[in-house]
Amino acid sequence: MSLFRTCPDSGFYFHKSAESLMKANAVAAAVSLLVAGVLALGVVLTRWQEVHLLDASTFYMVLTAHGINALIFWIIFFEIAILYFASSTLLRCRLAAPRWAWTAFILMLVGAIMNNVAVFQGNSSVMMTSYVPMQAEPHFYLGLILFAVGALIGIFVFFGTLVIAKDENTYEGSVPLVTFGGVTAAIIAVFTIAGGAIILVPTFLWSVGYISHIDAQMYRVVWWVLGHSSQQVNVATHVAVWYLIAGVVFGARPMSEKVSRAAYLLYIFFLQLACAHHILVDPGISSEWKVFNTSYAMYLAVLASMIHGLTVPGAIEVAQREKGYTKGLFEWLRKAPWGNPVFSGMFISLVTFGFIGGITGVVMGTEQINLIIHNTIYVPAHFHATVVTGTTMAFMSLTYLLIPALFRRKVFMPTMAKLQPFVFGGGMVIMILFLLGAGTMGVSRRHWDMDFTGALLNFEYAGIAYTMVAIGSIGGVLAIVGGAMYLLVTVGSLLFGEKLEPSAGFLQSFGKPLDASCYRSGDAGRALAAPKPVEEHGSAGFEAPGTFALALLLLVTFIVYYFINWKYLASVWQLG
Amino acid sequence: MTSYLPPSDRIWWKVPVGREEVVWIALALTWCLIMFLMMPYWHIYGKQNLSNEAYQTTPAKFGSRVEDMIKAHKVSEEKGIPVVHPPAGSDVYMLGRLWQWWPILELEKDKSYRLHLSSMDWQHGFSIQPINVNLQVIPGYEMVITVTPDKAGEYGVVCNEYCGIGHHTMLGKIYVKE
Ligand code: HEM
Ligand SMILES: [Cu+2]
Ligand SMILES: [Cu+2]
Tens-digit pLDDT profile for residues A377-433: 999 999 999 999 999 999 999 999 999 999 999 998 999 999 999 999 999 999 999
Mean pLDDT of A233-249: 96
Question: Ligand 1 pocket, A245 CB below 6 A?
Answer: no
User: Is A362's pLDDT higher than 60?
Assistant: yes
Encode B76-85: b = buried (16+ Cβ within 10 Å), e = exposed.
Answer: eeeeebbbbb
CA–CA gap between residue A190 and residue A342 (Å, rounded): 30
Closest residue to B48, CB basis, from A284, A454, A574: A574
A575 and A462 in one domain?
no
Q: Is the pLDDT of residue A262 over 50?
A: yes
Within a domain: residue A182? no
Question: Does one domain contain both A245 and A290?
Answer: yes
Helix (H, G, I), strand (E, B) or coil at B72: helix
Which residue's alpha carbon is nearest to atom 22 within ligand 1? A40
Stretch A294-315: mean pLDDT: 88
The pLDDT of residue A537 is above 70: no
Does any domain span residue A366? Answer: yes
The answer to whether the Cβ–Cβ distance between B123 and A131 falls below 8 Å is yes
> Which positions ≥6 away from B2 have C-beta within 8 Å?
A247, A248, A251, A252, A253
d(CA A332, CA A324): 8
* Residue positions counted in chain A: 576
* A167 and A38 co-located in one domain: yes
Average pLDDT over residues A89-94: 94
Burial of B109 (0-12, 13-18, 19+ CB in 10 A): middle
- Cα dist. A287→A374, B117, B123, B138 in Å? 16, 18, 21, 17
Please tell me the distance in Å from A506's CA to the nearest CA on chain B: 31
Substitution target in B2, B97, B100, B104 with the highest count of A β-carbons within 10 Å is B2
Q: Is the pLDDT of residue A273 over 70?
A: no
Residue A331: give the domain boundaries: 190-336+542-576
List domains and CATH numbers for chain B. Answer: 53-177 (2.60.40.420)
Residue A535 above 70 pLDDT?
no
B42–A368 CB contact, under 8 Å: yes
Check whether residue A294 and residue A389 sit in a common domain: no
At A387 the pLDDT is: 97
Cβ-Cβ contacts under 8 Å between A and B: the total is 355
A520 falls within a domain: no
Cα Rg, chain A, nearest whole Å: 23
Q: Among all ligands shown, which has an atom nearest to the Cα of A226? A: 2
- Domain ends where: A150, A175, A200? A175
Mean pLDDT across A23-37: 97
Taking residues A312-320, report their average pLDDT. 95
Mean pLDDT of A222-236: 92
The answer for residues whose C-beta is within 8 angstroms of residue A169's C-beta and 6 or more apart is none
Q: Based on DSSP, count helices (H) and strands (E) in chain B, helices before strands.
A: 2, 12
User: What's the mean pLDDT when you consider all of chain A?
Assistant: 92
Of the pLDDT bands very low, low, confident and very high (cuts 50, 70, 90), residue A531 is: very low
Q: A542 vs B18: CB contact, 8 Å cut-off?
A: yes
Is A459 within the bounds of a domain?
A: yes
Stretch B117-141: mean pLDDT, rounded?
96
pLDDT of residue A536: 44
A533 has a pLDDT exceeding 50: no
Q: A61 lies in a domain?
A: yes
The answer to whether residue A17 is domain-embedded is: yes
Does one domain contain both A168 and A19? yes
Residue B1: the pLDDT is: 58
Q: What is the mean pLDDT of residues A103-121?
A: 98
Q: Tell the burial category of A330 from Cβ atoms under 10 Å away from its Cβ (0-12, 13-18, 19+).
A: middle
Which ligand sits nearest to residue A444's alpha carbon?
A: 1
Q: Are residues A356 and A332 in the same domain?
A: no
pLDDT at residue A540, as a whole number: 52
Judgement on whether residues A22 and A162 belong to the same structural domain of the protein: yes
Single out the residue in A447, A470, A500 at which a domain terminates.
Answer: A500
CA of A377, closest atom in ligand 1: 15
> Is residue A532 domain-resident?
no
Question: What is the three-state SS of A74-118?
Answer: HHHHHHHHHHHHHHHHCCCCCCCCHHHHHHHHHHHHHHHHHHHHH
Contact state of A528 with B6 under an 8 Å Cβ cutoff: yes
Same-domain pairing of A140 and A195: no
Confidence of residue A220 (pLDDT cuts 50, 70, 90): very high
| One domain, residues A473 and A564 | no
Counting from 1 in the atom list of ligand 1, the atom nearest the Cα of A477 is: 5
Question: What would the pLDDT profile of B24-52 be if each residue is shown by its tens digit?
Answer: 999 999 999 999 999 999 999 999 999 88
Q: How far is B72 from chain A (nearest CA, A)?
A: 23
Give the per-residue pLDDT at B51: 87
Residues of B in contact with A569 (CB under 8 A): 46, 48
**CA of A447, closest atom in ligand 1:** 16
What span, in angstroms and rounded, lies between the C-alpha atoms of A91 and A112?
Answer: 30
Please write the tens of the pLDDT for every residue from A3-22.
999 988 888 999 999 999 99
Average pLDDT of the segment spanning A346-364? 96
Please count the structural domains in chain A: 3
Q: What is the pLDDT of residue A534?
A: 40
Residue where a domain terminates, one of A500, A533, A563? A500
User: Ligand 1 centre and the CA of A381: distance in Å?
Assistant: 8
Kindly state whether residue A346 falls inside one of the protein's structural domains. no
A357 close to ligand 1 (CB < 6 Angstrom): no
pLDDT, tens digit, for every residue of A163-204? 999 999 999 889 999 999 999 999 999 989 988 989 999 999
Mean pLDDT of B115-133: 97
| Pair (A432, A560) in one structural domain | no
Q: Is A96 in the pocket of ligand 1 (CB under 6 A)?
A: no
Same domain, A488 and A361: yes
SS3 call for A192: helix
> Residues A171, A201: one domain?
no
